[in-house]
Amino acid sequence: MLQRVVMIAVVVALVGTRSASAFPPIAPQIPEAYKDVAEYKAFLTTLEGLKTKCDVCHKPGADKKARGHGLNDFGKVYHDRFKAKAYKAANEAKDTAESMKLFKEAWEKSVTEKNAEGKVYLDLIKEGKLPGKND
C-alpha cells in the first residue's frame, strides 16, 4: 500500500514538473506586436476568428509534443529561426520586452521566406491569409 502511494506521489510530481516547464504560447504575441501595422490588419482579423490561434504555425489537431511539433511549413521556418531557450527564460523571468524582441526577430526573418509554391509568407499575411499550409 505504501509503495503504491509513493508511486502515485512520484507520478503527480513528474506531471506537475512537466506542466510547469511547458513552452509558453507564441500566438498571443502576434496581435500585440503587429496591431499598429497596417499591412497586418486583414491577417489580425483572420487570426481573431481562429478557434485555435496555434494554427498559424501548427497543423490543426496535430500533437504539438510529437516529433516535429505538428508544425506546418511556416511553423518549420519560424522554428528554425526561433531562440526557444532564450524565449522560455525571458518568459520565466517575466521579461516581456525580451520575449517580444525574440519573438519578433524570428518572425521578421521568417515572413520574408517563400513557401514551396514560391509565395512569400508576408504576402500571404498582407492578403489576410494564414502564412502556413494547414492541410
Q: What separation in angstroms does the CA of 83 have from each of 70, 88, 105, 128, 130? A: 18, 9, 9, 27, 22
| Structural domain boundaries enclosing 50 | 25-126
Please indicate, yes or no, if residue 114 is contained in any of the structural domains.
yes
Which pLDDT tens digit goes with each residue over 49-89?
988 888 999 998 888 788 888 999 999 999 999 999 999 99
Please indicate, yes or no, if residue 108 is contained in any of the structural domains.
yes
Please indicate, yes or no, if residue 68 is contained in any of the structural domains.
yes
Which pLDDT tens digit goes with each residue over 87-127?
999 989 999 999 999 999 999 999 999 999 999 999 999 99
pTM of the model: 0.78
Please indicate, yes or no, if residue 132 is contained in any of the structural domains.
no
Please indicate, yes or no, if residue 5 is contained in any of the structural domains.
no
Please indicate, yes or no, if residue 101 is contained in any of the structural domains.
yes
Please indicate, yes or no, if residue 78 is contained in any of the structural domains.
yes
Question: What's the total number of domains in the chain?
Answer: 1
Please indicate, yes or no, if residue 57 is contained in any of the structural domains.
yes
